[in-house]
Amino acid sequence: MALWGGRFSQAADQRFKTLNDSLRFDYRLAEQDITGSVAWSKALVTVGILTTDEQLRLEEALGFLLEEVSASPEAILASDAEDIHSWVEQRLIEKVGDLGKKLHTGRSRNDQVATDLKLWCKLQVSELLAAVKQLQLALVATAEITQDAVMPGYTHFQRAQPVTFAHWCMAYTEMLARDESRLQDTLERLDVSPLGSGALAGTAYEIDRDQLAGWLGFASATRNSLDSVSDRDYALELLSNAAISMVHLSRFAEDLIFFNTGEAAFIELSDRVTSGSSLMPQKKNPDALELIRGKCGRVQGALTGLMMTLKGLPLAYNKDMQEDKEGLFDALDTWMDCLHMAALVLDGLRVKRDRCQEAAQQGYANATELADYLVGKGVPFREAHHIVGEAVVEAIRQGKALEALSLVDLQRFSSTIGEDVYPILALQSCLDKRSAKGGVSPKQVAYAIGEAKKRLS
């Protein structure tokens, strides 16, 4: 049964109905639609449309419906209702008869869908916040046990300066902390209720919309009805949050995929998150990480998709807006899955310290140290940079590390170099020296770990 029988004499073409119906995906809003309906029924009492007794009967029936829906949300899909709003109304009428037909007084599916979706998003945000926190905790836990694991840090994908695995973990913790704060931020603007905006011009009943908003757990009611029914900024914001965070997760995945190559061999991934090859028996592929990296694409697509859908839409509601849901649902599900998967990858990850150390020692990652040493002896930095460049060329020619060059060899490039250079060139000294805020010195990393633990507890 469609909701608009009166004006139509012909049934909808089945192909149109297939295109038009949204129940197959918006069934996920069932709980929110029911909660919103209960609040609306209470509002209808305040304007004399329902008696208290009628409202109680509706609320009770909606309560049963909620139980039904929570027990088997997918059962809704057996219906051929157009969307979740029609489905809830139909089921209500089946349960309480004509009384159910009063519920839609003064309400439109336009303010209803906006309210349902915002309520759903609020719930998602709280779950996503928990997952973003959980991944930060996993990163911090990994950092805690890898503070001694020295490995090369890269720029231009060339070995640049030594870092620790812990410092790498804490870099991703920072990114996720920003993702977390973006979600908090989004929540603030999400927390405004569109219910009572009607189809576009506001409801014709003098309902206290702020009170109604409060019943639904919103901080307040929206200020403009036209905007309320056509606003999907919150969906865009959440998609942006997801898109940015997925970029972080994708880079995390890419780093680990590289660390896991035979060439780097800095880590070993757990069997629980890798798979074999059907042909090559020796293979252990980092599929979980590749999928995190790969799924980043569809989330960016969902954001771009909704941007394009909304671009150029006239005020107020247009059916185009029904296209908001599938991309949003998919993107947030994907983000959530990847957050969990990233934590799982960390859980079984083994850092191969010897190999990390060996790689950090190669590649002249301590060349900056030699330059700083010369600066300490009064050589201007630009000149020191040049001297060290020449020393590196000589070390490469001899197939040695900088610290393996003899003092005589080193002094050929600058007579200021003395025996005291060798301890400076040691990896540990490279780390220790970077002790300003945010640096890789073990002290700073331990501090960062401590602060993150405090923040996350």
Classify residue 319 as exposed, middle or buried by CB count within 10 Å of its CB (0-12, 13-18, 19+).
exposed
Which residues in the 8-27 window bind ligand ARG by CB under 6 A? Answer: 22, 26
Q: Which CB, 319 or 454, lies closer to ligand ARG?
A: 319
The single residue listed with the structure tokens 């309480």 is 96
CB of 110 to ligand ARG, least distance (A): 5
Q: Alpha helices of 205-283 — where are they, by DSSP H? A: 209-215, 225-230, 233-259
Q: Is 277 a catalytic residue?
A: yes
Q: Is residue 203 a contact point for ligand ARG (CB under 6 A)?
A: no
Distance of alpha carbon 265 from alpha carbon 357, whole angstroms: 11
- Map residues 84-123 to x or -, x wherever contact with ligand ARG holds by CB under 6 A: -------------------------xx--x----------
Tell me if 132 contacts ligand ARG by CB under 6 A.
Answer: no
Residue from 147, 322, 411, 429 binding ligand ARG (CB under 6 A): 322
**Binding residue count for ligand ARG, defined by CB under 6 A:** 10
Shortest Cβ 12–ligand ARG spacing (Å) = 13
438: which 2 tokens? 């945010």
Residue whose C-alpha is closest to residue 63's, from 108, 24, 96: 96
Out of 9, 156, 278, 415, the active site residue is 156
Window of 47-55, 274-282, 319-327, 397-405 that interacts with ligand ARG by CB under 6 A: 319-327
Which range touches ligand ARG (CB under 6 A), out of 121-129, 316-324, 354-362, 438-446? Answer: 316-324
Among residues 386, 425, 385, which one has the least CA distance to residue 405? 425
Instruction: Of 333, 352, 348, 205, give the one whose Cα is nearest residue 286.
Output: 348
Place of tokens 């989004």: 186
- The CB-of-449 to ligand ARG minimum distance in angstroms stands at 46
Partners of 193 in the β-ladder: 221
Is 230 or 414 the residue whose CB approaches ligand ARG more closely? Answer: 230
Listed in sequence order, the residues at least 6 apart from 229 whose beta carbon sits closer than 8 Å to its beta carbon are 108, 110, 111, 114, 194, 197, 198, 199, 200, 316, 317
Per-residue interface string for the shown chain with ligand ARG, residues 26-65, x marking contact by CB under 6 A: x---------------------------------------
Contact residue for ligand ARG among 83, 231, 255, 403 (CB under 6 A)? 83
Nearest approach in angstroms of CB 9 to ligand ARG is 19
**What are the angstrom distances between the C-alpha of 256 and each of 32, 66, 269, 327, 342?**
40, 44, 9, 28, 10
Which amino acid is located at 228 in the chain? S
Cα 440 to Cα 419: distance, rounded to the nearest angstrom: 26
Q: Is 156 annotated in the active site? A: yes
Residues in the chain: 457
Q: Rounded to the nearest whole angstrom, what is the least distance from the CB of residue 270 to ligand ARG in the complex?
A: 42
| Active-site position among 181, 275, 277, 435 | 277
The structure tokens 């640049």 sit at 160
Task: Look at residue 399 and give its three-state secondary structure.
Answer: coil
216 or 374: CB nearest ligand ARG: 216
Q: How far is the CB of 216 from ligand ARG (least distance, A)?
A: 18
Q: Which residue, 194 or 442, is less far from ligand ARG as judged by CB?
A: 194
Rounded least distance, CB 235 to ligand ARG, Å: 11
By CB under 6 A, tell whether 230 contacts ligand ARG.
Answer: no
Which residues 285-304 are close enough to bind ligand ARG by CB under 6 A?
Answer: none
Give one DSSP letter per residue of 98-111, joined into a string.
Answer: GGGGGTTTT--HHH
CB 387 within 8 A of CB 368: no
Identify which of 355, 358, 359, 383 has the alpha carbon closest to the alpha carbon of residue 370. Answer: 383
Instruction: Determine the Cα–Cα distance for residues 393 and 424; give it in Å rounded to an integer.
Output: 20
State the sign of the Cα–Cα–Cα–Cα dihedral 181, 185, 186, 188: positive
Closer of 26 and 180 to ligand ARG (Cβ): 26
CA dist., res. 284 & res. 287, Å (int): 9
Which CB, 168 or 317, lies closer to ligand ARG? 317
Nearer to ligand ARG, 166 or 321 (CB): 321
Nearest distance from residue 48's CB to ligand ARG, in Å?
Answer: 26
Cβ nearer to ligand ARG, comparing 87 with 252: 87
- The upper half-sphere exposure of residue 54, i.e. CA atoms within 13 Å in the direction of its Cβ, equals 18
Q: Which residues bind ligand ARG (CB under 6 A)?
A: 22, 26, 83, 109-110, 113, 317, 319, 321-322
> Catalytic amino acids?
156, 277
